[in-house]
Amino acid sequence: MAAVDMRVDLGGLKMRTPVATASGTFGYGFEYFGAVDYPKLGAVTAKGIRVEPWPGNPMPRHCEVPGGLVNAIGLQGTGVDHFLEITLPRYRATVPDAPPVIANIWGGSVEGYAEVARRIGDAVAAIEMNVSCPNVKEGGHTFGQDPKVLFEVVSAVRAATKLPLFVKLAPNVPSIVPYVRACEDAGADALSLINTIPAMVIDVERRRPVIANGSGGLSGRAVHPVAVKVVHDARAATKLPILAMGGVYEAKDAVEFLLAGANAVAVGTALFSDPGVVAAVHDGIADYCARHGFASVAALTAEGLQL
Ligand SMILES: Cc1cc2nc3c(=O)[nH]c(=O)nc-3n(C[C@H](O)[C@H](O)[C@H](O)COP(=O)(O)O)c2cc1C
């Protein structure tokens, strides 16, 4: 059988493979040079950025748990100007034939989000909105927790950018469907599913939370079945392309996502223990398609689950 066609189009973002990296687990793209097989990556998602530099949370800010990691980095970043002037050029100078960049953005207000998107212009290939951060003006609930607020913030960013626009949703809601609809109605081009799940670890001897922030977000193997369900539920509600993430450690995890309704996958926490996961997942998806008679990844996702 001829080589499997790995290309996918995620809401206008053209990826040479269906494997991306998840925001916050791959730095700004250049840090893994020499450790990751970049030609097997379809896109690189950068660490979250906002308009101004942001220090993040006090340390300690992460803790390994069975099946994953709890982190409360707190969206530390150098701000959008540094990203555009220093970080992006460094990524492109370091990585030959560099995969397209998805800029992950956040803000403390609706206007804050729109301003980052505006300043980015067309410097990257796509924008991913992290809506799991607090709306400072509205009492600190996250933007992604209320479909009306979500609609408002996605609409504002939609008006500020012509780039493919992804919205990244968190799974800790009773049903993902109203949030999916809000993104669709506001003009999003794709969904990223899922962000981390709120979690806490206690040091029983010190009788204190392990993480200085008190709590954080769970990622890694433990969240994978949760993510598969969210992707499946979202797929039943929308035709928007889905970039799935949450506990992809091997090709089987990625194929599960593709069968549940995702169009591409991102690897995250697994990269910390084995950067080789990118190549293994890429090659394993190709092998799965070949064994099951799919000429392309797009053909596999079009077919989906046998119910
Ligand atoms: C250390 C760390 C930092 C993260 N930073 C961000 C971030 O800046 N923006 C964002 O949208 N998601 C962030 N995430 C969430 C991941 O992109 C991903 O959605 C989540 O970890 C689930 O995938 P995984 O289980 O493969 O890690 C971060 C995750 C980790 C572990």
Tens digit of pLDDT for each residue in 118-139? 999 999 999 999 999 888 777 7
Residues 6+ apart with CB under 8 A from 41: 17, 19, 20, 21, 99, 278, 282
Task: Write down the pLDDT at residue 40.
Answer: 98
Judged against a pLDDT cut of 90, whether residue 141 lies above it is answered with: no
Task: Write down the pLDDT at residue 88.
Answer: 98
Q: Indicate the angle between helix axes 251-260 and 277-291, nearest 10 degrees.
A: 60
Protein residue with its CA nearest to atom 5 in ligand 1:
24
Instruction: Annotate the chain with three-state secondary structure.
Output: CCCCECCEEECCEEECCCEEECCCCCCCCCCCECCECHHHCCEEECCCECCCCECCCCCCCEEEECCEEEECCCCCECCHHHHHHHHHHHHHHHCCCCCCEEEEECCCCHHHHHHHHHHHCCCCCEEEEECCCECHHHCCCEHHHCHHHHHHHHHHHHHHCCCCEEEEECCCCCCCHHHHHHHHHCCCCEEEECCCEEECCEECCCCEECCCCCCEEEECHHHHHHHHHHHHHHHHHCCCCEEEECCCCCHHHHHHHHHHCCCEEEECCHHHHCCCHHHHHHHHHHHHHHHCCCCEHHHHHHHCCCC
Task: Write down the pLDDT at residue 170.
Answer: 95
Percentage of residues in the chain having pLDDT higher than 70: 100
- Average pLDDT of 42-70? 97
Is 220's C-beta closer than 6 angstroms to any atom of ligand 1?
yes
**138 vs 25: CA distance, rounded Å:** 29
pTM as predicted: 0.98
Is 223's C-beta closer than 6 angstroms to any atom of ligand 1?
yes
CA dihedral for 179, 185, 244, 307, sign (positive or negative): positive
Of 1-5, 63-67, 239-243, 302-306, give the lowest mean pLDDT range: 1-5
Is 48's C-beta closer than 6 angstroms to any atom of ligand 1?
yes
Q: What average pLDDT is seen over the chain? A: 97
Residues 212-249 pLDDT 10s: 999 999 999 999 999 999 999 999 999 999 999 999 99
Pocket test for ligand 1, best of 196, 278, 281 (most atoms within 8 A of CB): 196
For the domain 8-303, what is the CATH code? 3.20.20.70
Task: Write down the pLDDT at residue 1.
Answer: 60
Judged against a pLDDT cut of 80, whether residue 92 lies above it is answered with: yes
**220 vs 143: CA distance, rounded Å:** 24
Establish whether 63 is a catalytic residue: no
Domain locations in the chain as residue ranges: 8-303
What separation in Å is there between the alpha carbon of 22 and the centre of ligand 1?
6
Residues 6+ apart with CB under 8 A from 12: 126, 163, 164, 189
Q: How far is CA 88 from CA 21, 49, 146, in A?
A: 16, 12, 33
Protein residue with its CA nearest to atom 22 in ligand 1:
246
Question: Binning pLDDT at 50, 70 and 90, where does residue 109 land?
Answer: very high
Is 171's C-beta closer than 6 angstroms to any atom of ligand 1?
no
What separation in Å is there between the alpha carbon of 151 and the centre of ligand 1?
22
Judged against a pLDDT cut of 90, whether residue 291 lies above it is answered with: yes
Protein residue with its CA nearest to atom 19 in ligand 1:
195
Task: Write down the pLDDT at residue 138.
Answer: 78
Pocket test for ligand 1, best of 61, 197, 219 (most atoms within 8 A of CB): 219
Task: Write down the pLDDT at residue 203.
Answer: 98
Q: How far is CA 120 from CA 89, 107, 154, 160, 203, in A?
A: 13, 14, 16, 10, 42
